[in-house]
């Protein structure tokens, strides 16, 4: 007996389960999806490397997935067109800059992303960088590891009659107590440029330290304002704060927004922190400010060009900086967070429901 078209369709679904290509870094929670779809793992998921456009296109063509799960790979028009069955793209980043979202929109293919996946991690790291540069912790650690301020043999400290035991490393102009003397956070004013999810988390943590909070964000609505003092201009903010930290998106409007004019407005004992994007800062002007003593120091996790050049003046000439290689969001927790979001939206997709984390123009 001939089968109806509906029955044939059901048979095809059984023979050809929904397929996904996963080149994303994920936590074990992704295994939940394997009960419902067939997942081919490649790229970062198996080799911890970013694939090229041609490699991605070849994988898409050979697997023909309906669902693409990616983190860092270039998802271009060529890659998208390489799977005629593609119906959903998930990028496990808070800002899916590696995906041609405009072309996906043209084709009616939704894009899911991972907003705030590492917001807490980045906020905590930002405060850690403040503490590191203001208290000169990396300098002291480095010098001890190099053997400075250490003793050749154990030294017993005697206590004078009538006094209690007094434990000090050493005192004098060439001692750690003097060389690494820093600044406390309590009572100082923190300036936050960009008062979004990360900026607000930074503010919350720093309030616990007893800092005063000022913010500059031209897109801040009345409803979004809290007890932070809002500065009318970036220059006014820069001139009034002891620590300036930036948490803005990389857009044409924010390119090198922290420039010579802003840095010249800062106090000579103020610090600058950037765990956001290197493009927000004029690095040449920042180096000049650091070398001239126009500001006290800086802590940077991101740079204009990454990896940073080994002969960059920030590395070779500036002794008042703390530098790390783009680590603010690098936690196991962030991977768990974006995997949970990924699983949530793929499940919604499979059930024919609206996506919870769909990326839109105003995201």
- Which tens digits make up the pLDDT trace of 65-98? 999 999 999 999 999 999 999 999 999 999 999 9
Catalytic residue among 326, 336, 340, 358: 326
Structure tokens at 44: 């970062």
Tell me the C-alpha distance between 17 and 351, whole Å.
14
Domains and CATH numbers, the chain: 12-117+333-350 (3.40.50.720), 119-144+173-323 (3.40.50.720)
Cα-based distances in Å from 236 to 187, 215, 244, 310, 338: 19, 10, 12, 35, 37
Tally of residues, the chain: 363
pTM reported for the whole predicted model: 0.89
Structure tokens at 150: 């250490």
Widest CA span in the chain: 108
Per-residue pLDDT, 94? 94
Residue 217: other Cβ atoms inside 10 A: 21
Catalytic residue among 306, 317, 353, 356: 306
Per-residue pLDDT, 162? 77
Residue found under tokens 């081919």: 40
Per-residue pLDDT, 222? 81
Catalytic residue among 136, 188, 277, 338: 277
| Residue ranges of the chain whose pLDDT lies below 70 | 1-16, 157, 166, 361-363
Per-residue pLDDT, 219? 92
> In the annotation, is 34 catalytic?
no
Residue found under tokens 């530098």: 323
Tell me the C-alpha distance between 304 and 157, whole Å.
50
Is residue 136 helix, strand or coil?
Answer: coil
Per-residue pLDDT, 363? 52
Write the DSSP assignment of 190-252 as a string of letters: EEEE--SHHHHHHHHHHHHTT-EEEEE-TT--GGG--SSEEPSSHHHHHHH-SEEEE-----T
Cα-based distances in Å from 188 to 128, 132, 242: 16, 16, 6
Residue 283 half-sphere exposure, CB side, CA atoms within 13 Å? 19
> In the annotation, is 277 catalytic?
yes
Q: Which residues, other chains included, contact 189 with Cβ-Cβ below 8 Å and sequence gap of 6+?
A: 211, 212, 213, 214, 240, 241, 242, 243
Per-residue pLDDT, 2? 44
Mind listing the pLDDT tens digit for each residue in 159-191? Answer: 777 777 767 787 788 899 999 999 999 999 999
Per-residue pLDDT, 227? 85
Per-residue pLDDT, 130? 98
15 sits in which H/E element: helix 5-15
Angle at 360 between CA 358 and CA 363, to 5 degrees: 95
Write the DSSP assignment of 56-98 as a string of letters: HHHHHHHH--SEEEESSS-B-HHHHHT-TT--EEEE-SSS-TT
């Amino acid at each position: 007996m001939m089968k109806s078209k509906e029955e044939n369709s059901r048979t095809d679904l059984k023979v050809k389960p929904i397929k996904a290509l996963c080149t994303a870094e994920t936590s074990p929670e992704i295994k939940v999806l394997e009960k419902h779809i067939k997942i081919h793992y490649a790229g970062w998921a198996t080799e911890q490397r970013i694939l090229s456009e041609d490699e991605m296109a070849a994988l898409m063509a050979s697997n023909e997935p309906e669902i693409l799960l990616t983190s860092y790979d270039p998802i271009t028009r060529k890659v998208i067109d390489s799977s005629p069955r593609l119906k959903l793209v998930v990028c496990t980043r808070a800002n899916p800059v590696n995906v041609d979202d405009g072309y996906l929109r043209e084709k009616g293919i939704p894009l899911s992303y991972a907003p705030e996946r590492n917001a807490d991690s980045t906020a905590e790291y930002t405060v850690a960088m403040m503490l590191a540069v203001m208290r000169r912790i990396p300098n002291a650690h480095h010098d001890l590891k190099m053997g400075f301020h250490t003793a050749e043999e154990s030294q017993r400290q005697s206590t004078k009659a009538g006094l209690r035991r007094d434990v000090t490393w050493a005192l004098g102009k060439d001692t750690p107590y003097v060389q690494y003397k820093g600044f406390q956070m309590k009572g100082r004013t923190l300036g936050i440029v960009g008062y979004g999810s990360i900026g607000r988390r930074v503010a919350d943590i720093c309030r616990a330290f007893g800092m005063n909070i000022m913010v500059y964000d031209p897109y801040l609505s009345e409803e979004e304002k809290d007890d932070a003092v809002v500065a009318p201009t970036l220059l006014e903010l820069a001139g009034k704060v002891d620590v300036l930290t930036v948490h803005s998106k990389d857009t044409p409007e924010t390119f090198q927004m922290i420039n010579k004019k802003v840095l010249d407005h800062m106090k000579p004992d103020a610090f600058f922190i950037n765990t956001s994007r290197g493009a927000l800062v004029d690095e040449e002007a920042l180096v000049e400010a650091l070398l001239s003593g126009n500001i006290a120091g800086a802590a940077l996790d991101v740079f204009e060009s990454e990896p940073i050049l080994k002969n960059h003046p920030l590395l070779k000439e500036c002794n008042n900086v703390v530098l790390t290689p783009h680590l603010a969001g690098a936690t196991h927790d962030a991977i768990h967070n974006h995997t949970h979001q990924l699983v949530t939206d793929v499940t919604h997709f499979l059930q024919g429901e609206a996506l919870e984390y769909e990326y839109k123009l105003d995201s």
